Structure 1
Amino acid sequence: MPFSLNPAAVWPIVLLCLSNVFMTFAWYGHLKFKSAPLFIAILASWGIAFFEYCLAVPANRIGHEVYSAAQLKTIQEVITLLVFAGFSVFWLKESLTWNHAIGFMLIAAGAAFVFKG
């Protein structure tokens, strides 16, 4: 299905972007607080992940009216890379290299094939 700017096509993407922000913090946010006990990091991550699920589940339900499951997963993975790249630089203060950029571009190129007719 080609991408269009109708609300049924856009809302799942918006919700997936928001859910990915929560999930990235749930999975990687604790790396900034390594002195905290592991069980605290796990509990905090579960708490954050709850909000991710509150966004991701509706995104996929709404999105499946417009996109196939494979397309939704592909959209989610590309969003994950974009969110993670920003998170890595701004929250973790890690640099992205050319290797990262090239790898992400190759993944994005592969994702484009999922949307080819």
Structure 2
Amino acid sequence: MILVTRLNGSVFAVNPDLIQRVDSTPDTVITLVDGAKFVVTEPLTELVERVMAFRARVVATAHSLEETGTAHVLELPTHTGQNDQTSDHPSGADGDLPAPVPLHRRRP
């Protein structure tokens, strides 16, 4: 998931696998494969970088899992939203994300 900011300052997470396109007209609009649209404050180039970083973390975690049998969980980048106190995510008043859960290889 990547974190993005609505125009009112609230932060929410989007599954990058469900993004169909991102338009910059001049507001940045994320369109999901189901047709849902979200207007966000982040510029298009920043969203592209966040999706690329997300995919790199997935590949790195999968590679670590293959090599060692356990994945070294990579930390999510901190979100520097304008107004994290009004975010609508359930992680807490301070805006911190919950700690990642380590992955382990399944035993056959």
Same fold (TM over 0.5): no
- Which TM-score applies when normalising by structure 2? 0.33
Flag the structure with higher strand content.
Answer: 2
